[in-house]
């Protein structure tokens, strides 16, 4: 029979021991992407999925995303915006989703651009809370 030696080794450092160690610098977090920018990218991705036949329709997207068909329609309506407006949104232009819905409801891209400028101007002139 072999003799066994057992000993306890503390794994936690005491506060005094930990205080002497330099802390690791946390990596800076990446800048936060605006919600409307993420939704625009999602709308483009959804349209590609429909075009490739991965999903049949908006109802399939709603089931996959656990959202309502109405919400999918709201997101997909972003693809109806003029291409230059879409680019500005993807670049992080400051605009809220509600005012953007009013812009996407317009059929004419020239009217969309006019309303887009108004929406951006209104948000940039809004006093900080």
Encode pLDDT of 14-64 as tens digits. 666 656 666 677 778 888 899 999 999 999 999 999 999 999 999 999 999
Assign 119 to helix, strand or coil. Answer: helix
The tokens describing 105, both together, are: 């409801």
CB under 8 A, 24+ apart: contacts of 52-61? none
Taken in order 68, 75, 106, 34, the sign of the CA dihedral is: positive
Cα end-to-end distance, the chain, whole Å: 77
The tokens describing 21, both together, are: 């160690």
E strand or H helix at 39: helix 35-52
Asked if 80 contacts 47 with a C-beta cutoff of 8 angstroms, the reply is no
Q: What would the mean pLDDT of 83-102 be, rounded to a whole number?
A: 93
Give CA–CA dist 120/129, Å, rounded: 17
Kindly report the pTM of this predicted structure: 0.73
Going by C-alpha positions, the residue among 99, 102, 101, 103 that lies closest to residue 126 is 99
pLDDT at 9 over 90: no
Span 98-115, pLDDT tens digits: 989 999 999 999 999 999
Structural domain spans, the chain: 33-125
């Amino acid at each position: 029979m072999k003799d066994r030696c057992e000993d306890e080794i503390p794994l936690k450092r005491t506060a005094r021991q930990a205080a002497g160690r330099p802390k690791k610098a946390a990596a800076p977090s990446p800048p936060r992407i605006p919600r409307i920018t993420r939704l625009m990218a999602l709308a483009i991705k959804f349209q590609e999925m429909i075009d490739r036949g991965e999903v049949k329709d908006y109802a399939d997207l709603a089931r996959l995303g656990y959202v309502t068909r109405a919400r999918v329609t709201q997101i997909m309506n972003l693809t109806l915006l003029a291409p230059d407006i879409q680019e500005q949104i993807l670049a992080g232009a400051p605009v809220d989703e509600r005012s953007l819905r009013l812009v996407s409801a317009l059929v004419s891209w020239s009217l969309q651009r006019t309303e887009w400028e108004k929406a951006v101007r209104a948000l940039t002139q809004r006093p900080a809370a």
